[in-house]
C-alpha cells in the first residue's frame, strides 16, 4: 500500500487547473469523504476557487482517507495536499458537508488529525472548525456540537468575508473573540451563541452563476470531467426536495454562451451540474454544441417530461449510452402526491427515445417508503417498468425515502427497515428476469433519516457510533440513546 505522501504527490502531478498560491493567511479546506468524491463536488471546488481568488488568502486541501487506507495503529493522519502539513498547523479548518452520513466522516477526519471532535473540548490551541455545504440548506443542527460555526446556504460570497473576520483576531482568548465576531454576521450560525436558532439561508448574487470547477483529475469519481453549472435552484415544487422553488428562490439560469465559454479547450469530458439541468431552455443546444466539438457530456439531472428528440439525440452524440431519469414515486398516484407530475406517457416516451437513438439502457431512479405508499403502488411500478423493458433494457435505482427539514414532508416518519425490505422484495419478484433492481441500504437510510430529523444530540451521538466501530448497530444504539435522552429531558406531555 502506498503512503499518503506518495498518493498526494501522484495526484497533484495528475491534476489540471490547480491554483498555486501562497498567502499570509492560509486555511484548510477539507471534505469528509475521500479525494475522489471531493474532487467531483462542484460546490467544494467553487469554495476552493473563491478563497484562492481572494487577495492575501489561500487554502490547502485535505480529505478523509481512502477506503481501506491506514496502518496497524489506525487511520493515517490527514495532511494537506499543497504542503503536506497536519490540519492542526492551520488557524481554520473549513469543511464542506454534502449530506447527513458524511457527519461520521467529519468525526473521523478530526480525530485522525488529533483535533477533538466535540466543539466544547476545543480551545485556542485548536483550529476553528467552520462548516458549509449542501447539508446546510436542510438541517445543519446535527453539526452544532461538532463545529464552531456554519455558513448556511450559498457560501461563495460569504466564505472570504468570514475568513477575513477570523484573520483579524489575534492574541490570547482568540477563539471567544472569533465566535463573537462571527455571531454578528448574516447567514452564519454560531451554536455557542445562537443555540438552535438558524439564520436565513444565504443566496449568492446572480453574477456568481455559473459556478465551475478549476481542477480536473483522473482520480475523481467523475474522472477528468470539467464541471460547470447550468442553473441554480429549481422552479418546481417537489414535496421531498430541499431545493424546491419556494426554498431557493426559484431557478436562476446561466446564459448558454457563458456556460460554453467556461469550458477549457482541452476538456474532453464536461459535466453540466444543477438541480434541474434539463429545465434549462437551451439545454439541447448546449449539449449539441459540446457534442459537435467531440466532447463527452454528462448531466446531473434529467426530468422525464423535458426529454425530447433533440435533447436525447444530442446526449447520444455526446457519448451517452444509458439514458438516466427519475420517476421518484412508484406509482402515478404517489408522484401526484409529491407534486412530481411525472406521468406514464413521459416514461414511455423516454424509453422510446432511448431506443430510437441507439442507447443501451434506460435507468430510472425512485424512492420506496414514501408516506401513504402501499403494495398496490409497488405493483404499479412493477407493471410499468416491465412494459418499459419491452422497449429497452431497464434498470431501477432505488433509495429509501428520508424526510428532510424545510420541505413539505418534514417530519414524515421513516417507513421502517422491514417495510422497505419487504417492498423491495415484492418489486423484485414483480420484475424478475425483466428489470434490474439496485437499492441502497434501508438500514443506512434509517441513520440518514434520524440525522436529517435530529439536532445537536444526534450529531454528538455520531461520535459514540464511530468509536463503537461505525457499524449500523453502533449508530442504532447511539442514536436511540440520544432520542431517549431528549424525550426524558422534555418530560411527559403536559
Instruction: List CB contacts of 467: < 8 A, sequence separation 6 or more.
Output: none
Do both 188 and 243 map to the same domain? no
In a domain, 94, yes or no: yes
In a domain, 454, yes or no: no
Do both 182 and 226 map to the same domain? no
Q: Considering Cα of 230, then 236, then 241, then 242, what sign does the dihedral take? A: positive
In a domain, 465, yes or no: no
Q: Which of 388, 404, 434 is the last residue of a domain?
A: 434
Cell numbers at 41, concatenated: 463536488
Q: Which of 393, 419, 434 is the last residue of a domain?
A: 434
Give the 3-state DSSP-derived string for the chain, with helices as H, strands as E and coil as C. CCCHHHHHHHHHHHCECCCCCCCCEEEEEEECCCHHHHCCCHHHHHHHHHHHCCCCEEEEEEECCCCCCCECCECCCCECCCCCCEHHHCCEEEEECCCCCHHHHHHHHHHHCCCCCCHHHCCCCCCEEEEECHHHHCCCHHHCCCCCEEECECCCCHHHHHHHHHHCCCCCCHHHHHHHHHCCCCCEECHHHHCCCCCCCECCCHHHCCCECCCECCCCCCCCEEEEECEECCCCCCCCCCCCHHHHCCCEECCHHHHHHHCCCCCCEEEEECCCHHHCCCHHHHHHHHHHCCCEEEECCCCHHHCCHHHHHHHHHCCCCEEEEEEECCCHHHHHHCCCCCCHHHHHHHHHHHHHCCCCEEEEEEEECCCCCCHHHHHHHHHHHHHHHCCCCEEEEEEECCCCCCCCCCCCCCCCHHHHHHHHHHHHHHHCCCEEEEECCHHHHHHHHHHHCCCHHHHHHHHHHHHCCCCHHHHHHHHHHHHHHHHHHHCCCC
In which domain, by residue range, is 112 found? 4-194
Do both 228 and 167 map to the same domain? no
What is the reported pLDDT for 494?
34
pLDDT digits (tens, 9 = 90+) for 229-251: 999 998 888 999 988 764 556 89
Which CATH number belongs to the domain containing residue 24 in this structure?
Answer: 3.40.50.280
What is the reported pLDDT for 235?
87
What is the reported pLDDT for 247?
55
DSSP string, 116-167: -SSGGG--TTSPEEEEESGGGGT--GGGTTT-SEEE-B--TTHHHHHHHHHH
Average pLDDT rounded to a whole number, residues 322-340: 95
Average pLDDT rounded to a whole number, residues 32-42: 97
Do both 182 and 245 map to the same domain? no
- Pairwise CA distance, residues 328 & 335, whole Å: 7
- Pairwise CA distance, residues 247 & 233, whole Å: 8
State yes or no: pLDDT of 70 exceeds 90: no
Helices (H) and strands (E) in the chain, counts: 18, 15
Do both 245 and 293 map to the same domain? yes
Phi-psi region of 399 (alpha: psi -120 to 50; beta: other; left: phi over 0): beta
State the pLDDT confidence band at 489, using cuts at 50, 70 and 90: low
What is the reported pLDDT for 493?
40
Which CATH number belongs to the domain containing residue 287 in this structure?
Answer: 3.20.20.70
Do both 182 and 222 map to the same domain? no
Q: Which of 194, 228, 243 is the last residue of a domain?
A: 194
Instruction: Indicate the number of domains in the chain.
Output: 2
**Alpha-carbon torsion angle 402, 144, 110, 487, nearest 10:** -60
State yes or no: pLDDT of 26 exceeds 80: yes
State yes or no: pLDDT of 274 exceeds 90: yes
Of 138, 113, 137, 139, whose CA–CA distance to 129 is shortest?
113
Q: Report the percentage of the chain scoring pLDDT > 70.
A: 95
State the pLDDT confidence band at 484, using cuts at 50, 70 and 90: confident
What is the reported pLDDT for 76?
83
In a domain, 472, yes or no: no
What is the reported pLDDT for 492?
46
DSSP 298: E
Least confident range of 68-82, 174-188, 426-440 = 68-82
Backbone angles phi, psi at 310, to 5 degrees: -65, -45
- Residue with the larger pLDDT of the pair 360 and 75: 360
Of 309, 305, 286, whose CA–CA distance to 297 is shortest?
286
In a domain, 31, yes or no: yes
Do both 409 and 270 map to the same domain? yes
State yes or no: pLDDT of 209 exceeds 80: yes
Contact 277, 299 (CB under 8 A): yes
In a domain, 457, yes or no: no
Average pLDDT rounded to a whole number, residues 274-295: 96
Least confident range of 112-116, 350-354, 485-489 = 485-489
What is the reported pLDDT for 304?
95
Average pLDDT rounded to a whole number, residues 119-146: 97
State the pLDDT confidence band at 301, using cuts at 50, 70 and 90: confident
Mean pLDDT of the chain: 94
State yes or no: pLDDT of 107 exceeds 80: yes
Residue found under cell 489561500: 58
What is the reported pLDDT for 488?
59
- Residue with the larger pLDDT of the pair 225 and 66: 225
Do both 149 and 250 map to the same domain? no
What is the reported pLDDT for 243?
83
In a domain, 381, yes or no: yes
In a domain, 355, yes or no: yes
Amino acid at each position: 500500500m502506498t503512503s499518503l505522501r506518495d498518493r498526494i504527490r501522484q495526484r497533484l502531478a495528475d491534476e489540471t487547473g490547480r491554483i498555486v498560491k501562497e498567502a499570509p493567511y492560509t486555511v484548510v479546506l477539507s471534505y469528509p469523504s475521500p479525494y475522489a468524491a471531493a474532487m467531483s463536488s462542484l460546490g467544494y471546488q467553487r469554495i476552493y476557487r473563491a478563497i484562492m481568488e481572494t487577495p492575501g488568502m489561500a487554502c490547502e486541501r485535505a480529505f478523509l482517507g481512502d477506503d481501506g487506507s491506514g496502518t496497524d495503529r489506525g487511520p493515517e493522519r490527514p495532511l494537506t495536499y499543497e504542503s503536506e502539513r497536519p490540519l492542526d498547523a492551520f488557524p481554520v479548518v473549513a469543511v464542506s458537508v454534502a449530506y447527513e452520513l458524511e457527519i461520521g466522516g467529519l468525526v473521523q477526519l478530526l480525530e485522525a488529525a488529533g483535533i477533538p471532535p466535540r466543539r466544547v473540548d476545543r480551545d485556542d490551541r485548536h483550529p476553528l472548525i467552520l462548516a458549509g455545504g449542501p447539508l446546510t440548506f436542510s438541517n445543519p443542527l446535527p453539526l452544532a456540537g461538532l463545529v464552531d460555526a456554519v455558513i448556511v446556504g450559498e457560501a461563495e460570497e460569504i466564505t472570504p468575508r468570514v475568513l477575513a473576520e477570523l484573520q483579524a483576531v489575534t492574541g490570547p482568548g482568540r477563539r471567544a473573540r472569533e465566535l463573537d465576531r462571527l455571531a454578528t454576521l448574516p447567514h452564519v450560525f454560531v451554536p455557542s451563541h445562537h443555540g438552535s436558532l438558524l439564520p436565513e439561508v444565504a443566496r449568492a448574487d446572480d453574477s456568481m452563476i455559473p459556478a465551475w470547477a478549476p481542477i480536473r483529475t483522473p482520480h475523481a469519481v467523475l474522472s477528468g470531467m470539467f464541471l460547470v453549472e447550468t442553473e441554480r435552484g429549481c422552479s418546481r415544487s417537489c414535496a421531498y426536495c430541499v431545493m424546491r422553488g419556494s426554498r431557493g428562490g426559484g431557478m436562476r439560469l446561466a446564459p448558454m454562451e457563458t456556460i460554453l465559454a467556461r469550458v477549457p479547450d482541452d476538456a474532453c469530458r464536461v459535466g453540466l451540474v444543477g438541480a434541474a439541468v434539463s429545465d434549462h431552455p437551451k439545454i439541447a443546444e448546449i449539449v449539441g454544441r459540446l457534442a459537435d466539438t467531440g466532447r463527452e457530456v454528462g448531466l446531473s439531472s434529467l426530468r422525464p417530461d423535458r426529454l425530447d428528440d433533440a435533447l436525447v439525440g444530442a446526449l447520444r452524440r455526446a457519448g451517452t449510452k444509458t439514458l438516466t431519469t427519475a420517476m421518484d414515486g412508484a406509482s402515478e398516484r404517489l408522484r401526484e402526491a409529491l407534486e412530481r407530475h411525472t406521468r406514464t406517457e413521459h416514461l414511455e416516451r423516454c424509453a422510446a427515445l432511448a431506443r430510437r437513438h441507439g442507447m443501451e439502457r434506460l435507468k430510472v431512479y425512485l424512492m420506496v417508503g414514501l408516506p401513504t405508499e402501499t403494495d398496490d403502488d409497488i405493483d404499479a411500478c412493477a407493471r410499468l417498468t416491465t412494459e418499459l423493458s419491452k422497449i429497452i433494457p431497464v434498470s431501477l435505482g432505488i433509495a429509501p425515502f428520508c424526510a428532510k427539514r424545510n420541505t413539505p414532508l418534514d417530519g414524515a416518519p421513516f417507513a421502517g427497515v422491514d417495510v422497505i425490505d419487504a417492498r423491495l422484495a415484492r418489486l423484485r419478484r414483480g420484475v424478475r428476469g425483466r428489470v434490474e433492481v439496485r437499492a441502497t441500504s434501508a438500514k443506512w437510510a434509517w441513520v440518514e433519516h434520524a440525522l436529517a430529523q435530529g439536532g445537536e444530540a444526534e450529531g454528538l451521538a455520531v461520535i459514540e457510533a464511530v468509536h463503537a466501530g461505525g457499524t449500523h448497530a453502533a449508530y442504532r444504539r447511539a442514536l436511540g440513546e440520544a432520542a431517549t435522552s431528549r424525550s426524558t429531558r422534555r418530560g411527559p406531555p403536559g
